[in-house]
Amino acid sequence: MLKFFKGYKVFAIVFAAISIIIIALIYNTLNVYQPLPIYQPSMVSTELVDSTIQYKKKYHKIADFAFTNQNGKTITQKDYENKIYVADFFFTTCPTICPIMTKNMVEIQKEIINDTEVMLLSHSVTPEIDTVAQLKRYAIKKGVNDSKWNLVTGDKKEIYKMARKSYLAVKDDGDGGPFDMVHTENFMLIDKKRQIRGFYDGTNPEDIEKLLKDISHLKKEYNN
Protein backbone atom coordinates (compact mmCIF):
# COMPACT_ATOMS: atom_id res chain seq x y z
CA MET A 1 0.00 0.00 0.00
CA LEU A 2 2.84 2.41 0.93
CA LYS A 3 4.57 1.70 -2.39
CA PHE A 4 1.34 2.51 -4.22
CA PHE A 5 1.09 5.95 -2.60
CA LYS A 6 4.79 6.62 -3.24
CA GLY A 7 4.22 5.78 -6.90
CA TYR A 8 1.14 8.01 -7.00
CA LYS A 9 3.16 10.86 -5.44
CA VAL A 10 5.77 10.61 -8.19
CA PHE A 11 3.04 10.53 -10.81
CA ALA A 12 1.37 13.59 -9.26
CA ILE A 13 4.63 15.55 -9.26
CA VAL A 14 5.38 14.66 -12.88
CA PHE A 15 1.79 15.42 -13.92
CA ALA A 16 1.90 18.80 -12.13
CA ALA A 17 5.20 19.71 -13.80
CA ILE A 18 3.89 18.79 -17.26
CA SER A 19 0.68 20.75 -16.59
CA ILE A 20 2.66 23.85 -15.62
CA ILE A 21 4.72 23.61 -18.82
CA ILE A 22 1.58 23.20 -20.96
CA ILE A 23 -0.16 26.13 -19.25
CA ALA A 24 2.94 28.30 -19.75
CA LEU A 25 3.08 27.39 -23.45
CA ILE A 26 -0.62 28.19 -23.92
CA TYR A 27 -0.23 31.50 -22.06
CA ASN A 28 2.73 32.54 -24.21
CA THR A 29 0.87 31.55 -27.37
CA LEU A 30 -2.20 33.57 -26.42
CA ASN A 31 -0.07 36.55 -25.47
CA VAL A 32 1.81 36.88 -28.73
CA TYR A 33 1.91 40.59 -29.59
CA GLN A 34 -1.05 41.56 -31.74
CA PRO A 35 -0.57 44.90 -33.51
CA LEU A 36 -3.30 47.52 -33.58
CA PRO A 37 -5.31 47.65 -36.82
CA ILE A 38 -4.32 50.04 -39.59
CA TYR A 39 -7.49 51.87 -40.56
CA GLN A 40 -8.31 52.42 -44.22
CA PRO A 41 -11.09 54.60 -45.71
CA SER A 42 -13.12 51.52 -46.63
CA MET A 43 -13.21 50.55 -42.93
CA VAL A 44 -14.73 53.84 -41.76
CA SER A 45 -18.30 55.16 -41.95
CA THR A 46 -18.82 56.73 -45.37
CA GLU A 47 -20.29 59.89 -43.82
CA LEU A 48 -16.81 60.69 -42.47
CA VAL A 49 -14.88 59.96 -45.66
CA ASP A 50 -14.58 61.97 -48.84
CA SER A 51 -16.34 60.18 -51.70
CA THR A 52 -13.15 60.09 -53.77
CA ILE A 53 -11.40 57.69 -51.36
CA GLN A 54 -14.24 55.65 -49.83
CA TYR A 55 -13.16 52.64 -51.90
CA LYS A 56 -9.55 52.72 -50.67
CA LYS A 57 -8.53 49.54 -48.83
CA LYS A 58 -4.80 50.01 -48.26
CA TYR A 59 -1.86 52.42 -48.22
CA HIS A 60 -3.82 55.24 -46.57
CA LYS A 61 -1.65 57.81 -44.78
CA ILE A 62 -2.02 61.29 -43.34
CA ALA A 63 -1.12 63.79 -46.08
CA ASP A 64 1.46 66.56 -45.82
CA PHE A 65 0.10 69.66 -44.11
CA ALA A 66 1.01 73.19 -43.04
CA PHE A 67 -1.07 75.04 -40.44
CA THR A 68 -0.42 77.79 -37.90
CA ASN A 69 -0.40 77.05 -34.18
CA GLN A 70 -1.28 79.06 -31.07
CA ASN A 71 2.14 80.73 -31.12
CA GLY A 72 1.99 81.79 -34.76
CA LYS A 73 4.43 79.04 -35.78
CA THR A 74 3.89 77.05 -38.96
CA ILE A 75 3.36 73.41 -38.03
CA THR A 76 3.93 70.69 -40.63
CA GLN A 77 4.26 66.93 -40.72
CA LYS A 78 7.98 67.47 -40.00
CA ASP A 79 7.07 68.54 -36.45
CA TYR A 80 5.47 65.11 -35.98
CA GLU A 81 8.12 63.10 -37.78
CA ASN A 82 8.93 59.84 -35.97
CA LYS A 83 6.19 60.60 -33.43
CA ILE A 84 3.02 58.88 -32.31
CA TYR A 85 0.28 61.46 -31.93
CA VAL A 86 -3.37 61.94 -31.06
CA ALA A 87 -5.36 64.21 -33.40
CA ASP A 88 -8.81 65.76 -33.19
CA PHE A 89 -11.02 68.52 -34.62
CA PHE A 90 -12.66 71.19 -32.46
CA PHE A 91 -13.43 74.89 -32.19
CA THR A 92 -12.85 77.21 -29.27
CA THR A 93 -16.40 78.58 -29.10
CA CYS A 94 -18.06 75.15 -29.15
CA PRO A 95 -20.47 74.91 -26.18
CA THR A 96 -21.23 71.18 -26.35
CA ILE A 97 -18.70 68.36 -26.78
CA CYS A 98 -15.52 70.41 -27.27
CA PRO A 99 -15.02 71.39 -23.61
CA ILE A 100 -15.24 67.70 -22.66
CA MET A 101 -12.89 66.68 -25.46
CA THR A 102 -10.39 69.36 -24.47
CA LYS A 103 -10.57 68.32 -20.82
CA ASN A 104 -9.84 64.72 -21.81
CA MET A 105 -7.02 65.80 -24.10
CA VAL A 106 -5.53 67.65 -21.14
CA GLU A 107 -5.67 64.37 -19.20
CA ILE A 108 -3.85 62.63 -22.04
CA GLN A 109 -1.28 65.44 -22.03
CA LYS A 110 -0.61 64.79 -18.33
CA GLU A 111 0.03 61.12 -19.03
CA ILE A 112 2.42 61.72 -21.93
CA ILE A 113 4.11 64.91 -20.70
CA ASN A 114 7.49 63.21 -20.27
CA ASP A 115 7.15 60.85 -23.22
CA THR A 116 9.26 62.17 -26.09
CA GLU A 117 7.59 59.80 -28.56
CA VAL A 118 4.03 61.11 -28.20
CA MET A 119 2.39 64.44 -29.11
CA LEU A 120 -1.07 65.97 -29.62
CA LEU A 121 -2.62 67.92 -32.52
CA SER A 122 -5.98 69.74 -32.52
CA HIS A 123 -7.40 71.36 -35.68
CA SER A 124 -9.94 74.18 -35.59
CA VAL A 125 -12.94 73.69 -37.85
CA THR A 126 -13.80 77.41 -37.60
CA PRO A 127 -10.49 79.00 -38.62
CA GLU A 128 -12.24 82.29 -39.41
CA ILE A 129 -12.98 82.59 -35.67
CA ASP A 130 -10.01 80.73 -34.25
CA THR A 131 -7.21 83.13 -35.04
CA VAL A 132 -3.75 82.70 -33.56
CA ALA A 133 -4.66 85.11 -30.76
CA GLN A 134 -7.87 83.20 -30.02
CA LEU A 135 -6.05 79.87 -29.97
CA LYS A 136 -3.43 81.31 -27.64
CA ARG A 137 -6.06 82.51 -25.18
CA TYR A 138 -7.73 79.11 -25.31
CA ALA A 139 -4.40 77.31 -24.85
CA ILE A 140 -3.52 79.34 -21.78
CA LYS A 141 -7.00 78.88 -20.29
CA LYS A 142 -6.97 75.12 -20.81
CA GLY A 143 -3.37 74.47 -19.77
CA VAL A 144 -1.94 73.47 -23.14
CA ASN A 145 1.77 72.63 -23.04
CA ASP A 146 3.26 74.15 -26.20
CA SER A 147 5.97 71.49 -26.47
CA LYS A 148 3.42 68.65 -26.54
CA TRP A 149 0.24 70.02 -28.07
CA ASN A 150 -0.41 72.21 -31.09
CA LEU A 151 -3.77 73.90 -31.65
CA VAL A 152 -3.81 74.81 -35.32
CA THR A 153 -5.73 77.08 -37.65
CA GLY A 154 -5.39 77.81 -41.35
CA ASP A 155 -7.17 77.76 -44.68
CA LYS A 156 -10.61 76.21 -44.19
CA LYS A 157 -10.42 74.31 -47.47
CA GLU A 158 -7.16 72.67 -46.40
CA ILE A 159 -8.50 71.79 -42.94
CA TYR A 160 -11.61 70.30 -44.53
CA LYS A 161 -9.46 68.27 -46.90
CA MET A 162 -7.31 66.96 -44.05
CA ALA A 163 -10.37 66.10 -41.99
CA ARG A 164 -12.15 64.10 -44.69
CA LYS A 165 -9.30 62.78 -46.82
CA SER A 166 -6.66 62.09 -44.19
CA TYR A 167 -8.08 61.74 -40.68
CA LEU A 168 -11.55 60.50 -41.77
CA ALA A 169 -12.98 62.45 -38.88
CA VAL A 170 -15.67 65.02 -39.77
CA LYS A 171 -19.02 65.07 -41.52
CA ASP A 172 -20.02 67.25 -44.42
CA ASP A 173 -22.71 69.57 -43.09
CA GLY A 174 -24.99 68.65 -45.99
CA ASP A 175 -26.25 72.16 -46.73
CA GLY A 176 -24.38 72.50 -49.99
CA GLY A 177 -21.60 74.67 -48.57
CA PRO A 178 -18.25 73.97 -50.23
CA PHE A 179 -16.15 73.25 -47.12
CA ASP A 180 -18.48 73.28 -44.13
CA MET A 181 -17.77 70.69 -41.48
CA VAL A 182 -19.61 69.06 -38.60
CA HIS A 183 -16.84 67.79 -36.37
CA THR A 184 -17.24 64.60 -34.36
CA GLU A 185 -16.06 63.55 -30.90
CA ASN A 186 -13.39 61.33 -32.47
CA PHE A 187 -9.78 61.22 -31.32
CA MET A 188 -7.48 59.51 -33.83
CA LEU A 189 -4.29 57.67 -32.91
CA ILE A 190 -1.61 58.16 -35.57
CA ASP A 191 1.56 56.08 -35.75
CA LYS A 192 5.09 56.99 -36.80
CA LYS A 193 4.29 56.04 -40.40
CA ARG A 194 1.36 58.51 -40.46
CA GLN A 195 -1.21 55.69 -40.41
CA ILE A 196 -4.47 55.73 -38.40
CA ARG A 197 -4.31 53.06 -35.69
CA GLY A 198 -7.44 53.83 -33.69
CA PHE A 199 -10.60 55.91 -33.28
CA TYR A 200 -11.85 56.87 -29.81
CA ASP A 201 -14.78 58.80 -28.37
CA GLY A 202 -13.08 61.88 -26.94
CA THR A 203 -15.98 62.44 -24.53
CA ASN A 204 -15.87 58.95 -23.03
CA PRO A 205 -13.48 58.31 -20.08
CA GLU A 206 -13.36 54.59 -20.88
CA ASP A 207 -12.25 55.34 -24.43
CA ILE A 208 -9.56 57.68 -23.09
CA GLU A 209 -8.24 54.86 -20.91
CA LYS A 210 -8.23 52.56 -23.93
CA LEU A 211 -6.44 55.20 -25.99
CA LEU A 212 -3.67 55.49 -23.38
CA LYS A 213 -3.31 51.70 -23.30
CA ASP A 214 -3.21 51.59 -27.10
CA ILE A 215 -0.44 54.21 -27.13
CA SER A 216 1.63 51.94 -24.88
CA HIS A 217 0.71 48.97 -27.06
CA LEU A 218 1.66 50.81 -30.24
CA LYS A 219 5.05 51.76 -28.80
CA LYS A 220 5.88 48.06 -28.57
CA GLU A 221 5.97 47.94 -32.38
CA TYR A 222 8.99 50.22 -32.27
CA ASN A 223 10.64 48.64 -29.26
CA ASN A 224 10.50 45.00 -30.38
Quick one: 208 exposed, middle or buried, by C-beta within 10 A (0-12, 13-18, 19+)? buried
Q: Confirm or deny that 183 is annotated as ligand binding.
A: yes
Question: In which element (H, E) is residue 84 found?
Answer: strand 84-90
Please provide the DSSP assignment of 128-156 as one string: TT--HHHHHHHHHHHT--TTTEEEEB--H
Angstrom distance (rounded) from CA 224 to CA 221:
6
Is 123 marked as a binding-site residue?
A: no
Residue 39, SS3? coil
Q: Which residues are annotated as a binding site for Cu cation?
A: 94, 98, 183
Q: Which residues are annotated as a binding site?
A: 94, 98, 183
